[in-house]
């Protein structure tokens, strides 16, 4: 309760429950219940030395858009000469996302005690990644934290927009496929058996398509649980195989070689590589550190290995372009432009130009794919429904012929 007797709730950072109560009383808030937040969740997760899936932690994950908005606001406050501690305090008050609010509150306390912003953020790896922390560190060292944060917000928003567009393009076919499966299952389990009974009573000789349809219908009606077990089992086997280094390497390699989606995946990864490396080096992060960070953002083991080999070659005195070209994973245009950037001393600008080009290409191809997907899905679903209808109509036509004779 507050001083006026009104019920209030929220998050406050403190070393323990007793310290939290003291803090609240100083704010003229009289607690009726105080519970540990994220710390308790992490302790329960690590109890017994085993990690468990935490649904609340998963649902409370900080979204990229929320992080980008917070970064933009922090940059604006610092640019207006608001002290860092006060800026963080303002963000804590106006942030609604529980996990981000808690992390910002803890960071504010650490900064107040004398820690650097990047060091305080490093204590929350589930909110702030290596890319974010290294750029903040570079901004603090160079004295241009507000500029770096603004650049980081641009980068985060851009990546979130591109990822959202690709995911949005995949939603339609997934929904159509699910609707199609439900519709087919309904026809095969409830409609087809009733029509089949009519043919059985008439003792008519059924054509091959109808017999195949009846066989599929009987199997789904009698062994539907087996179908579910097989699908779930296949999914878990895939996840287990993908978790192994060999499995992930093979699957990621196949993704890059897929007929339609492979080029899109490659362009997204290459664009992300160029954009991230350009943003890092532009913010004052050293090239070797930048190459270390970008390994984790391409989200493909095959490309990660190529970047790691490039980093080792650069460490030995080579340029970036040559090892990237030798890997065979980066298009010739990319390596050519990087080589020009290295020779002219404008590597960051060239990387940014490549990223712009590839992101535009991804945007164009995703839009084209989205436009093409709708008629293709309609044709496929129409074909399946048409095959079922034809299988039902054929014996009826045969029966009519026999009656006519």
What's the confidence (pLDDT) of residue 49?
38
Domain identity same for 340 and 242 = yes
Using H for helix, E for strand and C for coil, what is the string for 118-140?
A: HHHHCCCCCCCCHHHHHHHHHHH
Taking the CB of residue 217, how many other CB atoms lie within 10 A of it?
22
**Measured distance CA(304)–CA(30) in Å, rounded:** 53
Angular region, 63: left φ>0, alpha ψ -120 to 50, beta rest:
beta
From first to last of its 405 residues, what are the pLDDT tens digits of the chain? 877 778 877 777 776 787 788 888 877 888 888 887 654 344 333 333 343 444 444 456 788 888 888 888 998 998 888 899 899 988 988 888 888 888 898 899 889 888 889 889 988 888 888 778 888 887 887 777 888 888 888 888 877 777 777 777 777 778 877 887 888 778 777 777 777 777 766 666 777 887 888 888 888 777 888 888 998 999 999 999 988 989 999 999 999 998 888 888 898 888 888 888 888 888 778 888 888 888 877 888 999 999 999 999 988 888 889 999 998 889 998 999 999 998 888 888 898 899 888 888 888 888 888 788 778 888 888 888 888 888 878 777 776 655 555
Domain identity same for 266 and 233 = yes
Considering the entire predicted model, what is its pTM?
A: 0.66
Torsion of CA 384, 385, 390, 393, to 10 degrees: 160
Map residue 5 onto helix, strand or coil.
coil
Domain identity same for 32 and 87 = no
Specify the DSSP class assigned to residue 244. S
Alpha-carbon distances of 180 from 172, 377, 380, rounded to whole Å: 12, 9, 9
Domain identity same for 78 and 29 = no
Domain identity same for 83 and 130 = yes
- Report if residue 57 sits inside a domain: no
Give the tens place of pLDDT for each residue, 223-274: 888 888 998 999 999 999 988 989 999 999 999 998 888 888 898 888 888 8
Expressed as residue numbers, the domain containing 10 is: 1-43
Q: Would you say the C-alpha torsion 254, 255, 259, 264 has a positive or negative sign?
A: negative
Domain identity same for 235 and 357 = yes
What's the confidence (pLDDT) of residue 44?
37
What's the confidence (pLDDT) of residue 204?
63
- Report if residue 81 sits inside a domain: yes
- Report if residue 174 sits inside a domain: no
What's the confidence (pLDDT) of residue 58?
45
Q: Number of folded domains in the chain?
A: 3
- Report if residue 55 sits inside a domain: no
Alpha-carbon distances of 44 from 20, 40, 125, 207, rounded to whole Å: 20, 6, 18, 62
Strand-pair partners of 2? 29
CB 333 within 8 Å of CB 308? no
Domain identity same for 101 and 152 = yes
Question: What CATH number does residue 331 fall under?
Answer: 1.20.81.30
Domain identity same for 209 and 308 = yes
- Report if residue 321 sits inside a domain: yes
Domain identity same for 318 and 184 = yes
CB 288 within 8 Å of CB 337? no
Domain identity same for 369 and 228 = yes
Residue with tokens 């080009």: 357
What's the confidence (pLDDT) of residue 41?
40
DSSP alpha helix (H) spans, 244-300 = 245-257, 261-282, 287-294
- Report if residue 52 sits inside a domain: no
Domain identity same for 97 and 220 = no
**Measured distance CA(259)–CA(239) in Å, rounded:** 23
Alpha-carbon distances of 392 from 14, 36, 179, 274, 398, rounded to whole Å: 71, 63, 22, 56, 11
What's the confidence (pLDDT) of residue 193?
77
What single string gives the DSSP state of each residue in 26-93? Answer: HTTB--S-----HHHHHHHHHGGG-----HHHHHTPPPHHHHHHHHHHHHHHHHTT--HHHHHHHHHH
- Report if residue 48 sits inside a domain: no
Domain identity same for 286 and 189 = yes
- Report if residue 54 sits inside a domain: no
């Amino acid at each position: 309760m507050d001083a006026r007797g009104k019920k209030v709730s929220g998050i406050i950072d403190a070393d323990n429950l007793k310290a939290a109560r003291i803090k609240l009383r100083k704010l003229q808030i009289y607690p009726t219940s105080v519970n540990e937040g994220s710390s308790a969740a992490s302790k329960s997760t690590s109890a017994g030395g085993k990690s468990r899936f935490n649904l609340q932690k998963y649902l409370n994950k900080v979204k990229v858009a929320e992080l980008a908005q917070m970064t933009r606001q922090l940059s604006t406050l610092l640019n207006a000469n608001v002290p860092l501690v006060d800026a963080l305090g303002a963000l804590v008050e106006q942030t609604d996302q529980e996990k981000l609010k808690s992390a910002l509150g803890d960071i504010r306390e650490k900064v107040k005690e004398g820690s650097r912003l990047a060091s305080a953020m490093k204590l929350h790896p589930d909110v702030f990644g290596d890319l974010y922390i290294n750029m903040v560190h570079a901004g603090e060292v160079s004295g241009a934290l507000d500029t770096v944060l603004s650049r980081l917000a641009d980068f985060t928003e851009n990546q979130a927009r591109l990822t959202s567009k690709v995911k949005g393009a995949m939603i339609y076919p997934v929904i159509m496929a699910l609707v199609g499966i439900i519709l087919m299952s309904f026809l095969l389990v409830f409609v087809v058996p009733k029509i089949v009974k009519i043919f059985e009573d008439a003792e008519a000789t059924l054509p091959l398509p109808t017999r195949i349809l009846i066989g599929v219908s009987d199997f789904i009606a009698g062994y539907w649980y087996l179908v579910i077990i097989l699908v779930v089992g296949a999914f878990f086997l895939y996840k287990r195989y993908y978790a192994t280094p060999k499995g992930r390497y093979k699957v990621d390699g196949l993704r890059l070689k897929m007929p339609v989606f492979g080029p899109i995946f490659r362009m997204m990864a290459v664009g992300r590589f160029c954009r991230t490396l350009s943003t890092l080096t532009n913010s004052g992060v050293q090239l070797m550190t930048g190459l270390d960070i970008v390994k984790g953002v391409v989200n493909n083991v095959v490309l990660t290995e190529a970047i790691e080999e490039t980093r080792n070659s650069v460490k030995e005195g080579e340029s970036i372009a040559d090892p990237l070209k030798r890997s065979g994973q980066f298009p010739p245009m990319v390596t050519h432009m990087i080589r020009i950037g290295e020779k002219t001393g404008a590597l960051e600008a060239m990387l940014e130009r490549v990223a712009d080009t590839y992101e535009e290409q991804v945007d164009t191809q995703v839009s084209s794919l989205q436009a093409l997907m709708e008629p293709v899905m309609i044709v496929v679903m129409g074909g399946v429904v048409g095959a079922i209808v034809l299988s039902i109509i054929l014996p009826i036509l045969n029966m009519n012929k026999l009656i006519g004779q």
